[in-house]
Amino acid sequence: MQKLTAMLSSGALGMLVLSSANVYADASCDTVKMADPGWSDIAATNAITGFLLTGMGYKAKVDTLAVPITFGGLKDGQVDVFLGNWMPAQQGFYDKFVANGDVVQLAKNLDGTEFTLAVPDYVWDAGVRDFADLNKYADMHPEKADKKIYGIGSGAPANISLQAIIKKNDFDLGQWKLIESSEQAMLAEVSRAVKKQRFVTFLGWTPHPMNVQLKMHYLKGGEKYFGDTGSVYTLTRKGYAQACPNVGKLLTNLSFTQEMENSIMSEVANNKISNADAAKAWIKANPAVLDKWLDGVKTVDGKDALAAVKAKL
């Protein structure tokens, strides 16, 4: 009898521990920790995801983190989700963190991207159409070209690729200098150059409002470093989709289009509204996307997520 009582007590204790663990796991899913490197496109997709999560009863917490810090945070469990795994631009980080299983590449969320060096139309018309044309043009027109490449924030994978190009003297760019700054500062410098019709070369990518605001062209020749076209993936910390399956299902469902992202980013840039307001307005105007995004997804308390999110529009 005493043995049976002990067994029952042990079983009850085990159930209690299991129950407590489940409660803790559920509670730990209530806040979704996301990262933003300070890029307009990720601010837009984070805003979309944040609106959905809030409508489902979750809390979305977004921290502005450089890409290397984001990958480290995913590995260490300090970041849950990153919607900005641009490939092949981030191949080095993929090899270091994803390939060995420290970070999980959960789903593709965007296709058909471009991310490489770009020039304004008047530079393109002058014959600069390939990476190899940059130094040729600068040597022929030293009064026009200052041998600078305007990049984004320090530590960004694209900057690392450009630094490698300079170090190896690929395309005869060994004497060129990479100017690292925020996305906004880079584009401000490009806009000033365009107004004066000055030579300038910079990191460009699509989707982004720059493709509408600037008359620009992407250079060929850098496919070894940047690929031809690419895709963007959703990353999570290891085990996140298993620990938080409802949020994991949402993240697996989420996919975006260039038109969607460009529309939201343009609203933010042109009308000076928040990413949250622009994302909500786009979803309100295109509610059919919710059917796919919320398929098989529940609210935090187990109710129909589609109805709950639509009620927030």
Q: Where are the domains of the chain?
A: 31-112+230-298, 114-226
CA distance 222 to 63: 32
Q: Which CATH class is domain 114-226?
A: alpha beta
- Asked whether the beta carbons of 44 and 265 are under 8 A apart, the reply is yes
Give residue 27's pLDDT band: very low, low, confident or very high (50, 70, 90).
low
Q: Do 253 and 126 form a contact (C-beta atoms < 8 A)?
A: no
Is the pLDDT confidence value at 26 over 80? no
Give the contacts of 300 (CB within 8 A, at least 6 positions apart). 29, 30, 56, 57, 58, 246
3 pLDDT above the threshold of 90: no
Could you tell me the pLDDT band of residue 92, with boundaries at 50, 70 and 90? very high
Prediction pTM value: 0.81
Domains 31-112+230-298 and 114-226 share a fold: yes
CB 33 within 8 A of CB 77: no
The answer regarding whether domain 31-112+230-298 maps to CATH 3.40.50.2000 reads: no
Q: What is the pLDDT of residues 193-250, one digit of tens each?
A: 999 999 999 999 999 989 988 999 999 999 999 988 899 999 999 999 999 999 999 9
